[in-house]
Structure 1
């Protein structure tokens, strides 16, 4: 790793965190100061990120693009609309078609012209289409355009996209196109017409020599620390597990990111007390986060209750890519696949690096059943319901599902049929104190208080 003077280390780490959090950095995204900071440390970042994680950094006139290597599919970081709603399949399709249309355009384009170009391509895709006469289609298309605008691929020169979305006959928008950003937004590692499955985009070990195999295992282990909320040893292959248990892997990550790591018997987590490096902060604010933290306390108490009946313990289900890959592959237009070229790579990119099951240390995790969880949440609502948002109080089942989804996303629990399994990370939060601020009750219209004679 490169030598950074101590007095400049914080600036270097800030640039590294920006790049790791936002693999595409432009003149305006995520903020105007990000790109100059990365340019200042470009040589050091390029060397360190490649050596430590296997990531490649590319710089253009208006962009810094980190080409990450993926070891597994991850649905936890979707593209989002300006209202923070995850993109659906239609919006993803419009985004891809918009990028294709912008690649054929000049330096400026009108929103209606861009919509017509996308519509011409969308009509050839079964079940898609784009009609500017349908408000839902216009809204989805404008969400895709807005996503690109935020990142600087498009800059509004005149007009309003929202006015066009409300009424395309009364509104229009004109955009400047940054071709460097358009090219940098989507950089597949493989030609898509060569793929039969999305798993071919995942990295596959290619090493034959012992040293190369060890280097690739080190990359996988350190990437896992960045890409996952917690890394459990029993979810890694043996080579990556050995690296992560060694003395150097954690130090390398800490030095680049400026964050701290916490090692337990079951695994390792990177701790971000500022929340600036995380896409999901926990503990957090809001009804769902508060309910999730309260649930953790109840689950921990149940696990440690020596007077209660012993809980059933089950092994956590394997985190295989097959189910998610199957759902994604269902949308792959097989007519566009070049069979001969695809067959050459049919076995590539399974996302599996060895077999972690061979040396599993997992002796089983306690099962908390759905009925018990529902009863616990009902009790929490009785005690703390006045502090929760009214919409969540009115729908306990939805609140429970949302809280468990959050805990599952953070790998604190894992969903199984009939309930959840409590994973080791749950123990870290069992002593966290929840500050509950009770809202003042609204005064009754006919409550005149006490009167004295």
Structure 2
């Protein structure tokens, strides 16, 4: 039993581990690993019992092996400049891990690139040419992702100089093998998987108590994995647990966060903003534009000519699963040992009616926002309103505030939570003109 005096420290360890499933001596910071080690026994027991997760500790890492119940396209890798990884960067990341697994204690960036290029050349449509700046940049983004997590440590040189000119620049890395082996931990042998859905949790038949425990774990996992859990997209058992069960209280006690209950669903709220991979409201042009867009949508929904509600389609992971499956190397699958897996759809969909905001209205609203607040936006976004609108809607969709549909978006219930947010737009400092520079030039 954890005392009330120590509870905040324990909750901080839980939040740190849930938001960073891989913790090393340097990632996310130097304090995280000692904190998790201090509470290792309690964490291992509660995370296994309440979520079905497994905590593994090595000399330099703490690895939380999580369980997936559905295909999720929102928890994506990002570059150091917060750009989303594309397919090429993901491929380079996996090939780099494979190369590091075969390497020694040190490796130069050129040697690593040559090894990855040899493997990439055997994959149709991929390839890696160190003569192409775009390929070098994508490769170094994958290397930097591993470096940020402590799998690689820069011993000498500069990766950025190598990207600019591989003939003039070089970098030497120390390899932490514990971290390398902890980064990639699939729940099943990949040669037994004909579809990515085989990585999902498969329900097992058992006693009534076993089934009740599984439903409770799925409900708690949904609460910590998703920005909001709508009852309409959850199966009946999970929805009932979240409405009436003790699972919600368990998550509140464990994380120190607050669960907000509404008629449409529940959301885990953290006022500190530390228990999320996407803080909202946030800084930057895209996050600020998304907040402004929420205000426009709220005004639209409260107007006399508010749009009629439309029925939200059932959530489906089939399209995303098909896209991932298209890249699977079929020649490496052992068909006689393959797991069938299961789909990522809710078994009982009640339906949710939401207002439809059409594409034309969204485009016009973005034009008004750029005209009114454009001086506060970054120049590259201000010059491309359609791209800014797409990025803002992507953010709101990731946070489950809107759902993209043909012809526009559906306004989901969580969006209403931010409709009355007050914000202050600060204008960016104007760039100096030639005349400004001349005025400051001595005669």
TM-score range, shorter chain: over 0.9
* Residue matched to 1:210: 208
1:369: how far off?
Answer: 1.3
* Residue matched to 1:50: 48
Tell me, yes or no, if structure 1 residue 428 matches structure 2 residue 421: no
Q: Which one of 310, 314, 319 corresponds to residue 314 of structure 1?
A: 310
Bigger Cα displacement from structure 2, 23-32 vs 107-116: 107-116
Q: Distance in 2 between matches of 1:54 and 1:268?
A: 21
1:235: how far off?
Answer: 0.9
Count of paired positions: 435
| Shift in CA distance, 443/335, structure 1 to aligned 2, threshold 3 Å | closer
Segments of 4+ in structure 1 off by > 6 A? 440-446
Q: What is the TM-score with the length of structure 2 in the denominator?
A: 0.93
1:276: how far off?
Answer: 1.1
1:318: how far off?
Answer: 1.7
Within a 5 Å distance, the mapping from 1:284-363 to structure 2 comes to 284-305=282-303, 307-308=304-305, 311-342=307-338, 345-346=339-340, 348-352=341-345, 355-357=347-349, 360=350, 362=352
| Shift in CA distance, 101/439, structure 1 to aligned 2, threshold 3 Å | closer
- Per-residue CA deviation, residues 142-186 of structure 1 (Å, 9 max, x unaligned), is 222221111111112222222333333333322221111111000
| Shift in CA distance, 200/148, structure 1 to aligned 2, threshold 3 Å | same
1:244: how far off?
Answer: 0.7
1:441: how far off?
Answer: 7.2
Whether the aligned pair in 1 keeps the contact of 2:314 and 2:351 (CA below 8 Å) is no
SS at match of 1:279: coil
- Per-residue CA deviation, residues 52-105 of structure 1 (Å, 9 max, x unaligned), is 111110001111000000111222222222222222212211111111111122
* Residue matched to 2:441: none
| Shift in CA distance, 132/272, structure 1 to aligned 2, threshold 3 Å | same
Tell me, yes or no, if structure 1 residue 62 matches structure 2 residue 55: no
SS at match of 1:420: strand
SS at match of 1:84: coil
| Shift in CA distance, 34/286, structure 1 to aligned 2, threshold 3 Å | same
Tell me, yes or no, if structure 1 residue 376 matches structure 2 residue 365: yes
Which blocks of at least 5 consecutive residues in structure 1 are unaligned? 447-453
Whether the aligned pair in 2 keeps the contact of 1:198 and 1:325 (CA below 8 Å) is yes
| Shift in CA distance, 393/148, structure 1 to aligned 2, threshold 3 Å | closer
* Residue matched to 1:111: 109
Q: Distance in 1 between matches of 2:389 and 2:105?
A: 49
SS at match of 1:278: coil
